[in-house]
């Protein structure tokens, strides 16, 4: 048994895990509430630079997910989480301290690499410490605590932004450093065992996943179509995520309220959007979509709604309509995501499910890394409106592929292994 001893007497694992998740939820909420406005109004990034910032984050996560996993698998889950938290904190401090584009890219790189150290490691750590069954309950409790902490983070962002956006970003980074220090002092690790080589994540296993998944989708055209849909979702999404706030600031003047910073409006828009999305998702859950054809129809409507909403948002000159379109798009994205995963799941054998689901997340990341700079370049050359309209165009092939899926899927039952409809 490997023992990783904290600097002081260790705290119980479950409270430590809940404190870690609550703390990072608060800090990420604080930072996300101000980061976009900071990039646009303080750093004054161009549309292309705004998108490249996101591309750097996505690319660093994509490239380092596997190498950093070696630390969690071979050395220590605890060490991996601590390294990640400290890197994230340093990244946010760099982000808030310098407004040069190069240093902001460095900050995104540090954030992305730090995230990969924590991704999966904290969940594996708590599962080792308290067992898988108890860990399942801990995950649910952590989500609930995180929701409350996120609301507190928005309030803290508004409070700090009254002084400066830089202070809010740097405070978030310092908060992550203190969180990392707390983990160093109290986080226990008593049940860690290195993962055997045959079960370990590696580049060899990554390419094996690609080959195994490739052979499967060659036999199932409908599955190939679903992965292609995932690519187009990735292609369009980065442009909207990075340029929507910039379009609002370029096109509209927000009401000035004594003592309230500009970030307050965007925090309120985001909080209200989450409520709208949650309500929309709750309605869809009652529809009980179970058959693949029903799922494809539902996702087709959601995709059409995103395309139309994004087009209206790009050309709108009315503030209320623009904000409502942001909420509309967010709700449809929340609806489409589980429908997509369920559709992919329906076409998989249990033995290869993890392989293809892993591929689906990889193709989305590739789409974001590829589509972001393309949309950013168009926004830079022809205006943010045209960049966002092009994002809508990039999603259109996904709608056409879903129409094709609907035509091939049976009204009842599942598709055959070859992808042909079977009754």
Select from 166, 189, 212 the last residue of a domain: 189
Same structural domain for residues 161 and 207?
A: no
At residue 349, the pLDDT reads: 56
Same domain, 133 and 211: no
Q: What is the chain's pLDDT, residue by residue, as a tens digit (423 residues)?
A: 444 666 666 678 899 999 999 999 999 999 999 999 999 999 999 999 999 999 999 999 888 877 777 777 778 889 999 999 999 999 999 999 999 999 999 999 999 999 989 987 888 888 888 887 788 788 878 888 888 898 899 999 999 999 999 999 999 999 999 999 999 999 988 887 776 655 555 556 656 656 666 666 666 677 778 888 989 999 999 999 999 999 999 999 988 877 788 899 998 898 888 888 888 877 777 776 667 888 889 899 999 999 999 999 999 999 999 999 999 999 999 888 888 877 777 665 555 565 566 677 778 888 999 999 999 999 999 999 999 999 999 999 999 999 998 888 777 655 444 444 333
pTM of the model: 0.84
Q: Does 414 reside within a domain? A: no
Paired strand residues for 2: 192
Beta carbons of 247 and 384 less than 8 angstroms apart: yes
My answer on whether 149 and 207 are in the same domain is no
Whether residue 100 sits in one domain with residue 33:
yes
Cβ contact 352:270 at 8 Å: no
Which own/partner contact pairs does 342-346 have at CB distance under 8 Å and 24+ positions apart? 342/289, 342/295, 343/226, 343/292, 343/295, 343/296, 343/299, 343/405, 344/223, 344/226, 344/227, 346/292, 346/295, 346/414
Residue 42: how many CB atoms within 10 A of its CB?
A: 15
Position 217 in a domain: yes
Residue 258: helix, strand or coil by DSSP? coil
Q: Are 107 and 92 in contact (CB under 8 A)?
A: yes
Reading the block at residue 270, the tokens are 């985001």
- Alpha helices in 348-383, H assignment, sequence order: 353-382
In a domain, 231, yes or no: yes
Domain annotation covers residue 194: no
Could you give the CA distance from residue 370 to residue 384 in angstroms, rounded to a whole number?
Answer: 18
The CATH code of the domain that includes 24 is: 1.20.1250.20
Instruction: Please check whether residues 184 and 208 belong to one and the same domain.
Output: no
Tell me, yes or no, whether 162 and 292 share the same domain: no
Residue 170 within any structural domain of the chain:
yes
Count up the domains in the chain and report the number: 2
DSSP symbol at 352: G
Q: What SS3 class is residue 306?
A: helix
Judgement on whether residues 64 and 175 belong to the same structural domain of the protein: yes
Q: Which domain holds residue 289?
A: 203-408
Residue 234 lies in a domain: yes
Single residue among 162, 189, 216 that ends a domain in this structure? 189
Taking a C-beta distance cutoff of 8 angstroms, is the pair 375, 390 a contact? Answer: yes
Angstrom distance (rounded) from CA 27 to CA 182: 15
Same domain, 147 and 179: yes
**What letters, b where the CB count within 10 A reaches 16 and e where it falls short, cover 239-248?**
bbbbbbbbbb
Q: 275 and 392 in one domain?
A: yes
Contact (Cβ atoms closer than 8 angstroms) between residue 142 and residue 87: no
326 assigned to some structural domain: yes
| Residue labelled with tokens 């950013």 | 376
225 with 291, same domain: the answer is yes
Q: In this structure, is residue 421 part of a structural domain? A: no
* Amino acid 423: pLDDT: 32
One domain for residues 95 and 209: no
Output the pLDDT for position 375: 96
Report the 3 state secondary structure along 307-332: HHHHHHHHHCCCHHHHHHHHHHHHHH
Are 157 and 269 within one domain? no
């Amino acid at each position: 048994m490997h023992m990783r001893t904290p600097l002081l007497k260790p705290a119980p694992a479950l409270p430590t895990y809940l404190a870690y998740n609550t703390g990072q939820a608060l800090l990420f909420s604080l930072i996300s509430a101000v980061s976009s406005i900071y990039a646009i109004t303080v750093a004054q990034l161009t549309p292309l630079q705004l998108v490249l910032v996101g591309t750097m984050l996505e690319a660093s996560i994509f490239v380092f997910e596997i190498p950093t996993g070696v630390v969690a698998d071979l050395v220590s889950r605890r060490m991996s989480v601590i390294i990640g938290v400290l890197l994230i904190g340093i990244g946010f401090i760099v982000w808030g301290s310098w407004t040069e584009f190069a240093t902001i890219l460095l900050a995104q790189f540090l954030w992305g690499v730090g995230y990969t150290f924590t991704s999966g490691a904290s969940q594996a750590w708590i599962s080792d410490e308290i067992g898988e069954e108890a860990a399942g309950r801990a995950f649910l409790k952590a989500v609930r605590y995180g929701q409350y902490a996120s609301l507190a983070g928005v309030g803290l962002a508004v409070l700090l932004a009254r002084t400066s956006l830089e202070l809010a970003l740097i405070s978030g980074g310092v908060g992550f450093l203190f969180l990392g220090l707390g983990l160093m002092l109290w986080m226990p690790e008593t049940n860690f065992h290195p993962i055997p080589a045959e079960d370990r994540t590696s580049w060899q296993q990554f390419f094996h996943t690609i080959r195994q998944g490739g052979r499967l989708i060659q036999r199932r055209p409908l599955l190939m179509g679903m992965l292609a849909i995932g690519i187009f979702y990735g292609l369009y999404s980065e442009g909207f995520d990075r340029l929507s706030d910039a379009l609002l600031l370029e096109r509209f003047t927000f009401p000035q309220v004594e003592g309230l910073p500009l970030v307050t409006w965007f925090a309120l828009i985001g909080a209200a959007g989450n409520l709208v999305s949650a309500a929309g998702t709750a309605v869809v859950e009652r529809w009980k979509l179970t058959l693949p054809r029903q799922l494809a129809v539902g996702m087709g409507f959601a995709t059409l709604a995103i395309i139309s909403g994004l087009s209206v948002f790009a050309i709108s000159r009315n503030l209320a309509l623009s904000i409502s379109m942001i909420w509309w798009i967010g709700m449809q994205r929340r609806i489409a995501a589980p429908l997509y995963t369920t559709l992919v799941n329906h076409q998989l054998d249990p033995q290869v499910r993890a392989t293809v689901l892993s591929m689906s997340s990889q193709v989305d990341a590739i789409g974001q890394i590829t589509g972001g700079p393309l949309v950013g370049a168009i926004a830079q050359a022809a205006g943010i409106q045209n960049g966002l309209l092009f994002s809508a165009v990039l999603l259109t092939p996904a709608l056409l592929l879903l129409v094709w899926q609907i035509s091939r899927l049976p009204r009842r039952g599942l598709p055959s292994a070859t992808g042909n409809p079977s009754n």
